[in-house]
Structure 1
Amino acid sequence: MNLPKFLMGDNTDCPNDIFVLHTEFPRFLINLVDDEIEWLEDFDNADQEELEVQVATLIEEASEFYDREMKRYEQE
């Protein structure tokens, strides 16, 4: 199965949250309301350094994905 790079998530227990799941390494779930990230990977110190460089870009990509999806829903 080919997974898309990002997936939107919803949960009625958290009605005010906006979740985006990043399915490629490093996998994570981000809440776009507060930019809180839950990493789905285990990292060692070497990975941690690389992550710090990538995290801003990954948050921006997740936000752009969400904005694009919302525009598509509005067009329907």
Structure 2
Amino acid sequence: MNLPKFLLGDNTDCKDDIFVIHTEFPRFIINLVDDEIEWLEDFDGEDQEELETQVAVLIEQSSEFYDREMERYKEE
């Protein structure tokens, strides 16, 4: 299966939250309401350095993905 880089996540138990799932390394779920991130990876020292440089970019890409998806829903 070929997964897209980002997926939207929804759960009626958390109706005010907006989840985006990043499916590539480093895999994570971000709640765009408060930018809380749940990492789906275990990191060692080397990965930690790479992660720190990528976090801001990945958060921005997650937000851009969500905005684009919402625009597409409005067009339908």
Coarse TM-score class (shorter-chain normalised): over 0.9
Name the % identity.
82
Per the TM alignment, residue 46 of structure 1 is displaced from its structure 2 partner at its CA by 1.0
Unaligned runs of 5+ in 1: none
Counterparts of 1:1-76 in structure 2 under 5 Å? 1-76=1-76
Counterpart secondary structure, 1:13: helix
Per the TM alignment, residue 5 of structure 1 is displaced from its structure 2 partner at its CA by 0.3
TM-score normalized with structure 2 length:
0.99
TM-score normalized with structure 1 length:
0.99
Runs of 4+ displaced beyond 6 Å: none
Residues paired across the two proteins, number: 76
Look up the equivalent residue of 1:9 and give its one-letter code. G
* RMSD between aligned residues: 0.4
Look up the equivalent residue of 1:75 and give its one-letter code. E
